[in-house]
Amino acid sequence: MIALLFKEIRAFWYSLTGTVVIATYLLINSAFLWILKGQFNLLDSGWAHLDNLFILSPWIFMFLLPAITMRMFSEEKRNGTLELLFTQPLSEWTIVLAKFLAAFLLVGLALLPTLLYFYTLYELGAPRGIIDTGGSWGSYIGLLLLGGSYAAIGLWASSLTDNPIIAFLLAALSCFVFYFGFGELTALIPDGDLAYFLSELSIHTHYESVSRGVLDSRDLFYFLSLTVFFLLATRLTLQSRNW
C-alpha cells in the first residue's frame, strides 16, 4: 500500500495537480481574508479570529477535493490501467485506502500554510495572543475531518465512471447535498423528528459543533462513519466489475 500511496503522491506533483490545488486554495483565501474589502476581511473585522477562514474553506474544498479525486479511478478506467492495477497483489480495500490517504494528505498540506494566518493574528491581537486558540484548533480538526469526508465522496464518484468531468460534477453535487442540502431541507419539513434526523445527516451541523473547540464523540463518529461509508461504497463499486 505504501508504494501505491507514494505513486499517487508523485502523480499529484508530476501533473501539477497538487501545486495547483494548494495554490488555488491559498490564493482564494488570501484574497478574501487579507486583500479584498468586505465581510470576510480579517483586518477589517476589528477583532482577532479565524472564523472567516473556516466559513470559506468548506465551500472551496467542495470544488478542490472533487478536482483532486476525479481522475483517481475514472482515468485509470479510461486508460485501461485499472485492471492492470488489480493484477498486483493488492486488495480493493488497499487500493481505495491508498488513494484516499493521498488525497487526505494533500488536504493537510493545503491547510499547513494557513497556520501563518493564525500566527499573524496571534501577534497582531491587542493584547497579544487574544485569539481563541481552542476554537481555532477545533476548527482545523473539523476541516481535516470534513476534507476526509469530501475525499471519500470524491473517490466514490470517480469509481462510478470513466469520465473525470462527470466524476467531478457528481462529487461536487454530493458534497453540496451533504454540507448544505440536508440542513436546508429541515426548514421545509414539519415533522420534528424527521427534520432532526436530516439535520444530523448534514456535515454543516457537525462541522459547526467541532468548530466550537469541543470534540464531541458524536461528531467524530459522524465524520468517521461518513468517510468509511463512502470508502466502502467505492470498494463495492470496484468489486462489481467482476459481477
Q: How far apart are CA 178 and CA 204, in angstroms?
A: 8
Residues 6+ apart with CB under 8 A from 75: 162, 164
This prediction's pTM: 0.92
Q: Rounded to 10 degrees, what is the CA torsion of 185, 190, 194, 195?
A: 50
For 104-114, the pLDDT digits (tens) are 999 999 999 99
For 214-231, the pLDDT digits (tens) are 778 899 999 999 999 999
User: How many domains, the chain?
Assistant: 1
Would you tell me the crossing angle of helices 133-159 and 217-239 to the nearest 10 degrees? 20
pLDDT at 133: 84
What phi and psi, each to the nearest 5 degrees, are found at residue 165? -65, -45
229 vs 241, more confident? 229
For 29-61, the pLDDT digits (tens) are 999 988 888 788 887 776 778 888 999 999 999
pLDDT at 76: 86
Range of the domain at 31: 2-242
Q: How far apart are CA 59 and CA 106, in angstroms?
A: 17
CA angle centred on 207, ends 72 and 167, rounded to 5°:
20
